């Protein structure tokens, strides 16, 4: 009887495929479902105390790089019977419950961009809780009755 010891040689063929990552700077800001903010001064008690309107999930930021958030009014408040409240009556700040790794600063509203969150970490969706405050009603004294309005603009910037 004869035995044959045959060793089969494995054969392989290779192919190379390129995998490309095409990365662009990407960032956005999306307002929450109820972005408007209203302060009501209807009684003497309203004028005697500070007021804060807290907006949970006010807007969401997506950014693939570190970023900052700035705020400004696009114009002064409208005038009613020759009276116009100063923008500086309103302060805007990021609530400490918002986790971004950023440095937060309170902005006194003006028509110039002011950073409220600086050096925030990249994110695939951070919801910002924002506080609007009028610490004292003194700047609102002697204003004519009515609704004064301005628009606030948030800007996200990557370095």
Counting residues of the chain whose pLDDT is more than 70, the rounded percentage is 95
Q: What is the mean pLDDT of the chain?
A: 94
What's the topology of domain 27-157?
Immunoglobulin-like (2.60.40)
pTM: 0.88
What pLDDT, in 10s, does the model give residues 84-137?
999 999 999 999 999 988 999 999 999 999 999 999 999 999 999 999 999 999
What pLDDT, in 10s, does the model give residues 30-52?
999 999 999 999 999 999 999 99
**In the chain, domain spans:** 27-157
pLDDT of residue 11: 87
d(CA 100, CA 127) in angstroms, rounded, equals 9
């Amino acid at each position: 009887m004869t035995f044959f010891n045959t060793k089969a040689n494995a054969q392989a063929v290779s192919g190379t495929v390129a995998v490309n990552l095409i990365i662009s700077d990407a960032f956005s800001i999306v307002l929450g479902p109820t972005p408007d903010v209203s302060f009501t001064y209807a009684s003497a008690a309203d004028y005697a105390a500070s007021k804060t309107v807290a907006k949970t999930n006010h807007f969401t930021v997506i950014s693939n790089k570190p970023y900052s958030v700035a705020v400004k009014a696009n114009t002064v408040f409208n005038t009613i019977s020759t009276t116009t409240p100063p923008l500086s009556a309103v302060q805007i700040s990021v609530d400490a419950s918002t986790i971004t790794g950023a440095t937060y600063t309170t902005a006194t509203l003006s028509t110039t961009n002011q950073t409220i969150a600086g050096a925030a970490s990249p994110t695939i969706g951070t919801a910002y809780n924002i506080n609007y405050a009028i610490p004292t009603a003194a700047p609102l004294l002697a204003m004519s009755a009515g609704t004064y309005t301005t628009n606030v603009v948030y800007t996200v910037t990557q370095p």
